[in-house]
Every structure is written in C-alpha cells, then in structure tokens.
C-alpha cells in the first residue's frame, strides 16, 4: 500500500520508514513560527524549561504582525518581549517593523517554507504553506516553546481527504471561492484532525497565490493541513527564494485516503460566507441585497499581489461608495512596493480606499478597522465568527478580493460583473 | 482524580474568538484573560463560574485560532474540565499541553443539562450526573497523551528530556 504525502513527510522526520494514521510520533521540525500574540506566551513557557539556548537560531521565525505597528501600550510590551527574546538568542529570522509582513505571506516570500518540511507555527493559519507541499500546521504557544527548545514536537498522523477539482473556472472565480465552496460543502469540522490534499487540473493551473489562499483556509474545515503536490510552479516560485535545500513528497497513486471528494468547478460561482461560520456559503447571485459598511482586502488569506491586482482591475477609474470604508492591506513590504510600482496603490487611493502597512489588524478585530455594534463588513479574510472584527453584534461576510472590491463600489454585496 | 462541579452548557463550534476575544489578547496575564472568558456568548460567565465548574460543549469545541489564551482563560476562570462531542485540533493539543482536563463524550454532551451537578473520575473517564444518577464513559486518551498528562504537561515533559 502506498502512502499519502503527509504520511511520507512525517515518516521522513522520524526514525520510522512508514507511519499510519492514528499513530502518535515525536517528529523533527524544520521551522518554528511565533507572532506578537502567541510568542509572548511561548517565551514565558520556554523560560520555565530552564535552558539557555534554542535548538537552532536559523529555524525559528518571529513575526510581530498581529497588533503592530503597536496599537497600544500593552501590545508594545508584547512586541518588546518578542524583540528582546530574538536579540537574546540571536534569532536569524526576526522581522522588525519595516521588514515584517503578515507572517503567512512573509515566510513563503522569504523562502522559509519549503516542500517536504514540517513547519509548526503558533498561529492557526500556518497551514498556508501546504501550498508549498509543507506539512505546515498551527499549534499552541506551549508547543512552539517545546519546539524552540528541542526541535521536535508530537504529532498524530492524520488521515487524508483528497479533493479533486476539475472543469473550467468561471470568470472571477479563484482560490478563495474554491475553498469557501469546499468548506460550505464539508462543514467547519468536515476535515477535523485530517489532512486535506488539493488536487486536479484546476489546482495544477492555479497560481501559487491562489494555492496559498486555499491551503490557508484548511483550518476553517478543521484540517491539520492543506497540502498540494510540488510541481514546476512550486519550484519556479522557490527558485530564487529557498534558504535551504528541500525534498518534496508527493502521494503514491495507491495511497489510502479516508475520502475522495470531486468537484466540477464550472458549477461554482463567486462565493460569500455569511455570518457566523465560514461554512455558511452562498453563491453571490443568492446573497440578496446585503448592505455593508466596510470592505477589507488583505490578510494572510488574500493579501498577495495577485489579490491586489484583481481588486485594482475592479476599482480602476471608479469610486468607493460614499457609505463604505474600503481598507486595503498588502501582505508584506515587498507586495506593498510591487503594488506601488505597478500603479495599484494609485488606483486604490484614487478610488477612495485606504492602503495600510502590512498587519493582521482588522481580521481579528485587533486594530485598523474595528466594527461598531450592528455594522457589517465584507472581508477577504478567513473567519466570520461572532465578534471577530469588533463588536459582538457586528457581522462579517467572507469573499474574494473581486467580490469585496465590487461591494466597495456598489455598497452592497454584488457580483464583480455588475460593476464592470 | 475526582472533579465535581456545576455545568455551563454551550452549543456546537464554540470558537476561540468567543472563548477569549482578540480585543483582550494585548494581555497574556491569565487572570485578566479569565475575566473576559466566554463574554461574547455568555456575558456573566466570569461572574457566575465557581472553582471546579465544568463546561460542556457540542461539536468542534475550541475551533478557530491557535491562541492558547483560550484554554488558559478557561482554566484560570476555575473550570476543572471541558466535555464536548469533539474538539478542534489545536484546542485539543493546547489543553493537553497546559494541563486543562478535556473529555470527549458524545452522549454526556448530548444528555447532561446546563446547571446539573456532575462528578468526573479522570482516571476512568466516568462522568456521573449527580441529579439523574446516570453515568457516561468518556473516550480514552491514546497512551502518548496519557503520559503527557501524567508528566504534568508538555513543558514538564520537555524539562525531563532536556535536563535529564
């Protein structure tokens, strides 16, 4: 019997030749990640261990991205704690404001997330790097404290659900719509404890940015990771970035899957996830006349250059509706710079949108766009839970950059074609 | 170990954003986090909860963010154990790592009512509803996790490994 890619990756990081779903192993990790919210808790736990070194200063990334640039004094104290830890242990990949970006946009860009690797991050959207064929998964602060000390962590080998996407994509349908549709189909715990494997001609043709959007939201179906095979596109993306050599692992043809789910994407139109769960998806044509107050385009889900280009195609020469606040957040400094060079930033500013420095900010109701009681946002982020972006009685609708930009112009949820 | 307390009951998909909203994550002080625990779905939780009380949730308890602040807030608020039909995977590992007892029992989560007084034997996984007298058997933990729990959590285990 063959093995799935996740089984192969785990086995390669242990002394076993093969591993089976359900088995719990203590595996080597290639990269450990923390941010300004989760690293402070991890640092406190790390100090309890009582050692004076980290396992490898080149395999830890610390990215202050959630409440930075510091939103208040308490956040500043946390950011300071992370900075001082990074200095003390000479952490190579600490990214100060000015170099930092949203962690899951930044690590792939810097070549720090590579095929066949195990990457653990104290952030649930660490699963984004599944698009690069890495077993990347969100863990807790204590987990990364242990991993920073030992370079190892415990894992339960997951079963795998294989998703096969075939057919021709409709206009304005991309990675975000595919993953929202998938979550709408299987539910927010449809892949609980399992690995998701995204396959098929549609995935092969999808850009790296689109693939990262899909893998990013594996956690919203409860998944441990959202893996994609390493192909020419992956290698091309990593050519001038990878900081280490890497060994990809692809699934065997006779690998055993818990389930195989097939989708004909020609039937999928742009999706909107209604409050308060990512599984509450509807095609945009069935969204009804939902008036919203704020549009957010950015985040680890959709803050990459392709996302900004799509938003700019829709916003070009148009004005954001007078009742709408449109906030656009490039994921990293490099994406920001590219958006400026390509003229996207100018399109956004002329349209009446604000363009922010990279930050997770509004996605988790941190800063840079908090909602008041009764307000609604359409957002390219990943969660629409109760109170996620502000007041417990506010609402978040999740969609692609195209739909969010169309809304910003119309003032209500609209199909991108309605504004062009 | 035996636990006894009153039940706070919630539905499916109780996410970490409602367990501890991100607007409070500029603190990592467990006591401060505990003061805001569950407030977006149960405004007076922090006032009502007493040491030893028990949370019962439905499916996918603790979904969403990886914030360890969530089990930490629950534990510090005085909750002695969380029972659910299923747990989201990061919340599950966080709870085990920090020593917040959690049990999976579809039946107990379905049948035990809010406000009930219940008793839990953590060694056997037997949950007893003291009002109705009915007992439920929670799913056993895999051996590796039992060891982790016995060691006192992940940091204690790592200490032994690293320092010998």
Query: Please, what is the average pLDDT of chain A?
Result: 97
- pLDDT, position B161: 87
**Cα–Cα nearest to A175, from A14, A356, A362, A307:** A307
Q: What angle do CA A97, A98, A102 make, to 5 degrees?
A: 65
Secondary structure E strands in A265-322: 271-273, 281-283, 294-297
pLDDT band at B150 (very low <50, low <70, confident <90, very high): confident
Contact B81, B105 (CB under 8 A): no
A300 in B contact zone (CB under 8 Å):
no
CATH topology of domain A5-262: Aconitase; domain 3 (3.30.499)
- pLDDT, position A150: 97
State residue A268 phi and psi, 5-degree precision. Answer: -100, 125
User: How buried is residue A112: exposed, middle or buried, by Cβ count under 10 Å (0-12/13-18/19+)?
Assistant: buried
User: Which ipTM score applies to this complex?
Assistant: 0.97
Say if residue B149's pLDDT is above 90.
Answer: no
CATH topology of domain A272-414: Aconitase; domain 3 (3.30.499)
Query: Please, what is the average pLDDT of chain B?
Result: 96
Percent with pLDDT over 70 in chain B: 100
Yes or no, beta carbons of B94 and A140 under 8 Å apart:
yes
Contact A237, A112 (CB under 8 A): no
Yes or no, beta carbons of B88 and A192 under 8 Å apart:
yes
- For residue B66, give the nearest of A50, A140, A149 by CB distance: A140
Q: Tokens standing for A136?
A: 């990347």
- pLDDT, position A414: 84
- pLDDT, position B140: 87
**Which residue has better confidence, B152 or A214?**
A214
Q: Residues of CATH 3.30.499.10 domain(s) within chain A? A: 5-262, 272-414
- For residue B69, give the nearest of A41, A143, A390 by CB distance: A41
Secondary structure E strands in A148-220: 152-156, 160-166, 195-199
Residues of B in contact with A390 (CB under 8 A): 23
Separation CA A172–CA A14 (nearest Å): 43
Contact B109, B65 (CB under 8 A): no
Contact A332, A356 (CB under 8 A): no
pLDDT in tens, A92-149: 999 999 999 999 999 999 999 999 999 999 999 999 999 999 999 999 999 999 999 9
B89 in A contact zone (CB under 8 Å):
yes
Residues of B in contact with A72 (CB under 8 A): 26
Range A31-40 burial, b when 16+ CB lie within 10 A, else e: bbbbbbbbbb
B13 in A contact zone (CB under 8 Å):
yes
- For the residues A170-191, what does the mean pLDDT come to? 98
**Cα–Cα nearest to B12, from B59, B56, B82, B65:** B59
pLDDT band at A376 (very low <50, low <70, confident <90, very high): very high
Say if residue A304's pLDDT is above 80.
Answer: yes
Contact A277, A384 (CB under 8 A): yes
pLDDT in tens, A227-249: 999 999 999 999 999 999 999 99
- For the residues B119-144, what does the mean pLDDT come to? 95
pTM for this model (two decimals): 0.97
Say if residue B164's pLDDT is above 80.
Answer: no
- For residue A385, give the nearest of B15, B86, B143 by CB distance: B15
User: How buried is residue B106: exposed, middle or buried, by Cβ count under 10 Å (0-12/13-18/19+)?
Assistant: middle
Q: What angle do CA B160, A28, A124 make, to 5 degrees?
A: 95
CA-based torsion, A394, A311, A269, A324: positive or negative: positive
Residues 340-379 of A with CB under 8 A from B: 364-366, 370
Q: How far is A391 from chain B, CA to nearest CA, in Å?
A: 9
């Amino acid at each position: 019997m063959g093995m799935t890619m996740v089984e192969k990756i785990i086995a390669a990081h242990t002394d076993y030749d093969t591993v089976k779903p359900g088995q719990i192993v203590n595996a080597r990790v290639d990269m450990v990640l923390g941010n300004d919210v989760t690293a402070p808790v991890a640092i406190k736990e790390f100090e309890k261990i009582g050692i004076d070194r980290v396992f490898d200063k080149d395999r830890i990334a610390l990215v202050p991205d959630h409440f930075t640039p510091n939103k208040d004094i308490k956040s500043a104290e946390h950011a300071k704690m992370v900075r001082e830890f990074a200095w003390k242990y000479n952490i190579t990949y600490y990214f100060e404001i000015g170099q930092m970006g949203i962690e899951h946009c930044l690590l792939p860009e810097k070549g720090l997330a590579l095929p066949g690797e195990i990457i653990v991050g104290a952030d649930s959207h660490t699963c984004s790097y599944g698009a690069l064929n890495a077993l990347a998964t969100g863990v807790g602060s204590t987990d990364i404290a242990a991993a920073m000390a030992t370079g190892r962590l415990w894992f339960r080998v997951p079963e795998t659900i294989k998703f096969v996407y075939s057919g021709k994509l409709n206009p304005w349908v991309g990675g975000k719509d595919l993953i929202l549709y998938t979550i709408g189909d299987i539910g927010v715990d449809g892949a609980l404890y399992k690995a998701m494997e995204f396959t098929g001609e549609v995935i092969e043709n999808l850009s790296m940015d689109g693939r990262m959007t899909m893998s990013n939201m594996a956690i919203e179906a409860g998944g441990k990771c959202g893996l994609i095979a390493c192909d020419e596109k992956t290698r091309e993306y990593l050519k001038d970035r990878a900081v280490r050599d890497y060994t990809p692992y692809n699934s065997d043809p006779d690998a055993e899957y818990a389930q195989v789910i097939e989708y004909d994407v020609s039937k999928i139109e742009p999706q909107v996830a209604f409050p308060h769960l990512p599984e509450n998806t509807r095609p945009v044509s069935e969204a009804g006349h939902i008036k919203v107050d704020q549009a957010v385009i950015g985040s680890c889900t959709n803050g990459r250059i392709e996302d900004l280009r799509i938003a700019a195609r829709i916003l070009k020469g148009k004005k954001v509706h007078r009742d709408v606040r449109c906030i656009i957040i490039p994921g990293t400094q490099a994406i920001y710079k590219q958006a400026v060079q390509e003229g996207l930033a100018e399109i956004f500013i002329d349209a009446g949108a604000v363009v922010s420095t990279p930050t997770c900010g509004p996605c988790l109701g941190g800063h840079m766009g908090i909602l008041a009681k009764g307000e609604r946002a359409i957002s390219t982020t990943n969660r629409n839970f109760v109170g996620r972006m502000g007041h417990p009685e506010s609402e978040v609708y999740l969609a692609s950059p195209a739909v969010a930009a169309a809304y910003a112009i119309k003032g209500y949820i609209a199909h991108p074609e309605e504004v062009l | 170990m035996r636990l006894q307390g009153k039940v706070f009951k919630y539905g499916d998909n109780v996410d970490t954003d409602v367990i501890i909203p991100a607007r409070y994550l500029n603190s990592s002080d467990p006591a401060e986090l505990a003061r805001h625990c569950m407030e977006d779905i149960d405004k007076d939780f922090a006032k009502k909860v007493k040491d030893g009380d028990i949370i019962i949730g439905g499916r996918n308890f603790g979904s969403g963010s990886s914030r360890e602040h969530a089990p930490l807030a629950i534990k510090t608020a005085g909750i002695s154990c969380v029972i659910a039909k299923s747990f989201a995977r990061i919340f599950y590992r966080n709870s085990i790592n920090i020593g917040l007892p959690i049990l999976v029992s579809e039946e107990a989560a379905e049948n035990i009512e809010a406000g009930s007084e219940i008793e839990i034997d953590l060694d056997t996984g037997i949950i007893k509803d003291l009002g109705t007298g009915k007992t439920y058997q929670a799913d056993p933990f895999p051996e590796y996790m039992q060891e982790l729990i016995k060691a006192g959590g992940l940091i204690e285990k790592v200490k032994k490994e690293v320092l010998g």
